[in-house]
Structure 1
Amino acid sequence: MSPTEPSWFKSSYSGSQGDDCVEIATTPTTIRIRDSKNITGPHLTVPADAWAAFLAVVDRAP
């Protein structure tokens, strides 16, 4: 892995069956999100503070 290549890991919010896996890679300012079944495909990049706000809403969901 090159120094500029992100370090991806399976999100703890992914499904436990292994069929709906989301991987994320973090930097101090951004979060990258991708489908683990298509690692060479497109990914979504969001500001770290927006990701934190999203997770706060998910944690409050019933």
Structure 2
Amino acid sequence: MTDKRIATPFRTSSLSSSTDRQECGKVAGTRDGGRAVRDSERPAYGATYRSPTAGAAFRTAMKADDSR
């Protein structure tokens, strides 16, 4: 069973590379060990959820992206 409730406060993602912080994401942990991701400029739009497995794959892919 998954539990997508937010378990930690949203924080600016360490993977956000914008120096003016206009294009940054916020990340929070969920109770099932996954991640919730939202746009820092539009928090009212809600968040997308990643399962623990998908969250780990997402982080790995973002860290490997050297085009930024």
TM-score normalised according to structure 2 size: 0.69
Q: Identity percentage over the alignment?
A: 22
Q: How many residues align?
A: 59
Counterpart Cα distance in 1 of 2:39 and 2:13? 10
Amino acid of the structure 2 residue aligned with 1:49: T
Segments of structure 1 that go 5 or more residues without pairing to the other structure are none
Deviation for aligned residue 1:43: 1.1
| Match of residue 26, structure 1, among 25, 29, 36 | 29
Deviation for aligned residue 1:29: 2.2
RMSD of Structure 2 on Structure 1 (CA): 1.9
| Match of residue 15, structure 2, among 13, 24, 27 | 13
The structure with higher relative contact order (CA 8 Å, sep 6+) is: 2
Counterpart Cα distance in 1 of 2:28 and 2:43? 12
Deviating 4+ runs (over 2 angstroms): 57-62
What secondary structure does 1:37 align onto? coil
Alignment partner of 1:55 is 2:59: yes
| Structure with the larger strand share | 1
